[in-house]
Structure formats: C-alpha cells, structure tokens
C-alpha cells in the first residue's frame, strides 16, 4: 500500500505533523549530523511524539492542598506506564519518552536482524511486573520490515499486556502494512512514512542505521 492508502485504511496510524517534529526529523536525515546531535535529536523526538501517544491516558481527580485551599485536581490513574525499548536503537527514543514520566517502568527487548533472513533474533528480555495492568509504549526509531516490532509486541501480549502503543520515527509502508496485519489493535505514532524499503531492507530515503548513528558504531 502507499502512504495515503495506509492512512485511509487504518484510522489509528498517527503521523505527527508538528513543525518541530518535521524539523528534527530532517536534521536526523542529514548525513553530516554528528553522533552527539543525532542522539540528542532522537531523545527530543521521543518526548514530542510520546506526548501525542499519551494524550488519552486516564486521569482521576485527587485531593491536593494548595497554599490557599484544598481542591480536587487530576492525576494519572492506575499503575505507572511501562516503556519498552527494542534494543539497542530504541534506548535513545525511550529516554525521551521517560522525560514525560520519569517514574515509568522500563522493559527491554533485545533483538537483532539476521542479515540473511531479515528476521528478528531475540537475545534478551527483561520486563517489570504487572504488565497486564500497565499502558505499554513500545519504542523503536525505525520500522522497516516490521518484524522486530511485531515480535516484541507478540511478547507483550503473551505476558498479558492489553493497552499497547507503538512509537517510531521513520516507517516504510511495507513495515506498516505487516505490522497492522499482525497487530491491528495497536495504534502507531509515527514521525514520517518514507517511500519504500530497498533490497537490503533499509528504509529509503531514511537515515541509514539508526543504532550506529546513535552510538557512533559501524
């Protein structure tokens, strides 16, 4: 499907069109953006897109004493958020989302893409307790084939998670289509939907390898 077809078909794909988001995504694309700046931009975008992904969190009126009187004022309802990072590139994005809720729990799913099969290989999994009672926000800068995100969310559902959201910065139409076929109930918050995947399963025009650019590796 094309970008427009995907957005018409799925009402829960949210492309964040805020000018600051667009500006920072363009800076990420620039091959001359250095490691320090790239890492900082990913974190900032995590906060901006995380803000949109948490817009509908439930609140409950709570009694609070101001310097002048006692009043009822809204606070987040239920257990703390759980931010799940698909390692390693997701770590930078998770730090940005954490700025919205510093007390959130953090889960880690370690995966790498097999260069031959392009399928995810899991090497690490560590999650907080009561996953079924938390809002789970899964983060990964790139949604290319969609396989890693699909596998990570499979794990969350196996653990009982019910309220799951997914955040990425750049997505390929092929990855979005695969993701929604596997997890039609999971809303997506995306910085930009790019043109296509190339023969090596890289997003075009994309940003290259986000993990390498965040950590200065090759």
Question: Which of the following is catalytic: 61, 212, 217, 218?
Answer: 212
Query: Is 146 annotated among the ligand-binding residues?
Result: yes
* Residue 35 appears among annotated catalytic residues: no
Query: Is 150 annotated among the ligand-binding residues?
Result: no
Query: Is 29 annotated among the ligand-binding residues?
Result: no
Question: Which of the following is catalytic: 209, 213, 217, 218?
Answer: 209
* Residue 117 appears among annotated catalytic residues: yes
* Residue 195 appears among annotated catalytic residues: no
Query: Is 4 annotated among the ligand-binding residues?
Result: no
* Residue 154 appears among annotated catalytic residues: no
Whether the bond between 55 and the residue before it is cis, its omega within 30 degrees of 0, is no
Cα dist from 177 to 32, 119, 137, 139, whole Å:
31, 16, 19, 18
Query: Is 147 annotated among the ligand-binding residues?
Result: yes
Cα–Cα distance, 26 to 192 (Å, whole number): 10
Q: Is the dihedral of CA 166, 153, 8, 192 positive or negative?
A: positive
Cα–Cα distance, 81 to 54 (Å, whole number): 10
Question: Which of the following is catalytic: 3, 29, 113, 132?
Answer: 113
Question: Which of the following is catalytic: 55, 56, 70, 117?
Answer: 117
Query: Is 209 annotated among the ligand-binding residues?
Result: yes
Query: Is 148 annotated among the ligand-binding residues?
Result: yes
Query: Is 208 annotated among the ligand-binding residues?
Result: yes
Query: Is 143 annotated among the ligand-binding residues?
Result: yes
Binding-site residues for 5-phospho-alpha-D-ribose 1-diphosphate, in ranges, read 88, 113, 140-148, 209
The residues assigned a catalytic role are 113, 117, 209, 212
Binding-site residues, in ranges, read 88, 113, 140-148, 203, 208-210
Binding-site residues for uracil, in ranges, read 203, 208-210
């Amino acid at each position: 499907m094309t970008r427009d077809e995907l957005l018409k078909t799925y009402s829960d794909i949210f492309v964040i069109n805020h000018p600051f988001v667009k500006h920072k995504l363009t800076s990420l694309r620039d091959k001359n953006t250095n490691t320090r700046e790239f890492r900082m931009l990913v974190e900032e975008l995590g906060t901006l897109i995380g803000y949109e992904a948490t817009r509908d969190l439930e609140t409950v009126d709570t009694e609070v004493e101001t310097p002048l009187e006692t009043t009822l004022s809204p606070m987040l309802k239920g257990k703390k958020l759980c931010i799940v990072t698909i390692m390693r590139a997701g770590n930078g994005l998770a730090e940005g989302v954490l700025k919205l809720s510093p007390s959130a729990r953090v889960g880690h799913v370690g995966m790498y893409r097999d260069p031959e099969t392009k399928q995810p290989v899991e090497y690490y999994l560590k999650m907080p307790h009561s996953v079924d009672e938390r809002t789970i926000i899964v983060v990964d800068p790139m949604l290319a084939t969609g396989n890693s995100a699909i596998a990570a969310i499979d794990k969350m559902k196996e653990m009982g998670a019910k309220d799951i959201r997914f955040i990425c910065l750049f997505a390929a139409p092929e990855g979005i289509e695969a993701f929604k076929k596997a997890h039609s109930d999971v809303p997506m918050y995306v910085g930009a939907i790019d043109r296509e995947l190339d023969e090596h399963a890289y997003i075009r025009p994309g940003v290259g390898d986000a993990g390498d650019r965040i950590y200065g590796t090759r």
